Structure 1
Amino acid sequence: MERAQEHAPPRPPGPQDPQGAEARGEAAVVRDALGVGVAVGLSGFAFGVTAAGAGLSAGQACALSLLVFTGASQFALVGALAGGAGPFAAAAGALFLGVRNTFYGLRLSQLLRLPRAVRPLAAHWVIDETTAVSLTRKDRRGARIGFTVTGATLYALWNLTTWAGALGARALGDTSAWGLDAAGPAVFLALLAPMLRTGTERAVAGLAVVLGLGLLPVLPAGVPVLAAALAAPAVLGFRAVRGRGSRPGAGRRGRGPEEGGGA
């Protein structure tokens, strides 16, 4: 028996198990999506506390999380209201921050290819976190799983913790002393930072921070957020002008023969 095994021809390597590899890939997507959903969803507690400190009732805070469901915009809205801004100025700043989700939706619509019946519901979950998890997947099925698990986990936890934070705000006393209003923007910046890969993107982000923070003492609440949007056209315009000026022959365009110093 042993001698027969010694002289037996080696077996060709069998094909890899595609179903097993696919199952492992899907499990990894679910694990990552749950991690993002739980980590970010718990910060809804900070929003609930901040909203209560800004004068909103628990019902109003929960309605914002249920119907708006975009963390940075929600924090911008209640922060502007707490700073004394009018409802229209506060809503304008929140709406401006929420516009980015439109561009996310354009990209995700091509990647996910969801049925028409579920697109209106899925649009409510198009936020930073679901977009980030979906775009890490190359296949459509993995992207759909990541989008669904992240959206469902985050939506459920965000709303539950908003409710808990709004009800527990009184027990915390002075909510401004805890600095919880910075939790939402901090999470947003943590998600945004790894995406700043080029010099132009870093310059836009840096100038936006300078404008937003520098104008806080001199402009009404909510307006510095709108002013920070000027960072993108300013940087892009500067680079365009600089690029034209650095082209070979750009400084000599339109010069006549008399300017050349010849006889």
Structure 2
Amino acid sequence: MRSTDRTPAVIDDRAAAREVWREGLGVAIATSAYGISFGALAVASGLDVWQTCVLSLVMFTGGSQYAFIGVFSAGGMAALPSAVASAALLGVRNIAYGMRMSPIIGEGFWRRTAAAQLTIDESTAVAISQGSTRLRRLGFWITGLGVFIGWNLTTLAGALLGDVLGDPKAWGLDAAAAAAFLALLWPRLKQRQAIAVGVAAAVVAGSLTPFLMPGLPVLVAAVVAIVVGWFNWFSRDDDRTPSEEVTA
């Protein structure tokens, strides 16, 4: 009788776990598809196939990787310090993700070490959307491992494809890294504050490009973006309710 009474709860728990598996794998497959473009763009920027694959294995954060090859393609080895700095700035957000995921992951040196590599936008998003600690942990590992494996496989495929294509300028790939990064940024420009930060950073970077070595305008623009974002002028207007606007 006791096992019969618990059957509905067990069924619900299994159904919830299956839903997490579907969600995590779906996100992993969709995200991994972008690895093909990254692999091709990285080779077009001047990296070889093995360098491209190692970059995905070690860095493993899409936005930072696109930023790196975008700067590197513009200035080559001379811009390497700026490329690393640009990628690091975008990777800072993962520190906040790590703080949020720490109590979910649990204790253990090796577990936390592995989780640190898999703490990305997608694994964090799937994890925190679940209703219990067990499902959050399951969602994190499924999504993180799925994206890691899929991203690195598709990076290899894209790098091999880009290597076969040859001269990137013949196919327009010399400008594709910047276009791909802009595509990642564009959906985030939904509020006036975000638009103001983007416009200010773009104006500064564009103005300094003729005078500074490749990569440095991006770093200066990042400082400007931090300053504009810090004062938060426009988001106050975004947060106002219709009644407040009428009163004003």
- Which TM class, normalised by the smaller chain length? 0.7 to 0.9
* Residues 190-231 of structure 1, C-alpha deviations (whole Å, 9 max, x = no match): 5x57xx7xxxxx344212321333234333443454323533
CA distance in 1, matches of 2:21, 2:92: 28
Percent identity over paired residues? 36
For the residues of structure 2 that align with 1:47 and 1:208, how far apart are their CA atoms?
Answer: 26
Q: Which residues of structure 2 form unaligned runs of 5+?
A: 237-248
The reply to whether residue 186 of structure 1 matches residue 183 of structure 2 is yes
Which residue does 1:116 correspond to in 2? Answer: 109
Tell me: CA distance 1:22–1:183, structure 2 relative to 1, closer, same or farther (3 Å): farther
Distance 2:126 2:32 in 1: 15
Larger radius of gyration: 1
Residues 114 and 34 (structure 1), Cα distance of their counterparts in 2 relative to 1, 3 Å cut: farther
2:207 is equivalent to residue 218 of structure 1: yes
2:222 to 215, 220, 228: 228
- Contact persistence 1:203–1:235 (CA under 8 A): no
Residue type at the aligned position of 1:34: L
Q: Deviations over 1:172-201 (max 9, x none)?
A: 4554625653345534655x57xx7xxxxx
* Structure 1 position 93 matched with structure 2 position 93: no
Give the whole-Å Cα distance in 1 for the aligned partners of 2:218 and 2:207: 13
- The code of the aligned residue for 1:55 comes to G
SS in structure 2 opposite 1:17? helix
Q: What TM-score, normalized to structure 1?
A: 0.74
How many pairs were matched up?
221
Could you tell me how far apart the structure 1 residues matched to 2:32 and 2:185 are?
12
Contact 1:47 1:180 in 2 (8 A): no
Q: CA RMSD in A?
A: 2.7
Q: 1:208 aligns with which of 197, 202, 208?
A: 197
8 Å CA contact 1:47–1:184 kept in 2: the answer is no
Distance 2:36 2:157 in 1: 6
Structure 1 residue 64 displacement after superposition: 0.3
Mark the CA change 1:41 to 1:25 in structure 2 (over 3 Å): closer, same or farther.
same
The answer to whether the Cα contact below 8 Å between 2:127 and 2:136 also exists between their aligned partners in 1 is yes
Q: Does 1:237 align with 2:231?
A: yes
CA distance in 2, matches of 1:78, 1:142: 36
